[in-house]
Amino acid sequence: MTHEDYIKLAMEEAQKAADRGGAPFGVVVINKEGDVVWRDHDRVNEHVDPTAHGEINAIRGLCKKLNTLKLREYTFYTTSEPCPTCLTACIKAQVPTIYYGAPTEETASLPIKALELVQRSKKYPISVVGGILEKECLAQREQLLK
């Protein structure tokens, strides 16, 4: 599967989130073999938890399932640029790479670019690469946020 294929799966998760009254953000996690090991989405309203973003839910679920605090072997795909909360959580979990679709909105609650935080992560280096199906992810987000 390609980066685009994984982002498409993340977009399906974003749609699920929106269908369930959440914000349209989806995430897919793959292992080194390229197998999808976790799919999740925003569950802030569902869990009545302001931190229940897709990446956070995936980290919580996967760490518990694997009984580990380290996700060094896993790659995250998200529909939108990870917010500072999620990016920090990924750094804490030692996730090495995140691919995302569309950049964060200027109106986000804390619009700090992922790359700004990435540059400061010395202990657990992380690579964040955006722009995969950017137009599609942005169009989906704008449509579902209406």
Point out the residues that are catalytic.
Answer: 55
Residue 67's SS3 state is coil
Structure tokens given for 19: 């269908």
Per the CB < 8 A criterion, the answer to whether 115 and 128 are in contact is yes
Q: How far is the CB of 89 from Zn ion (least distance, A)?
A: 8
- Please, is 145 exposed, middle or buried when counting C-beta atoms within 10 Å of its C-beta (0-12, 13-18, 19+)? exposed
Tell me whether residue 7 or residue 86 sits nearer to Zn ion (CB atom): 86
Alpha helices in the chain (DSSP H): 3-19, 44-47, 54-66, 84-92, 114-120, 134-145
Cβ at position 25, least distance to Zn ion in Å: 7
CB 33 to Zn ion: min, Å: 27
Q: Where do contacts with Zn ion occur on this chain (CB under 5 A)? A: 53, 83, 85-86
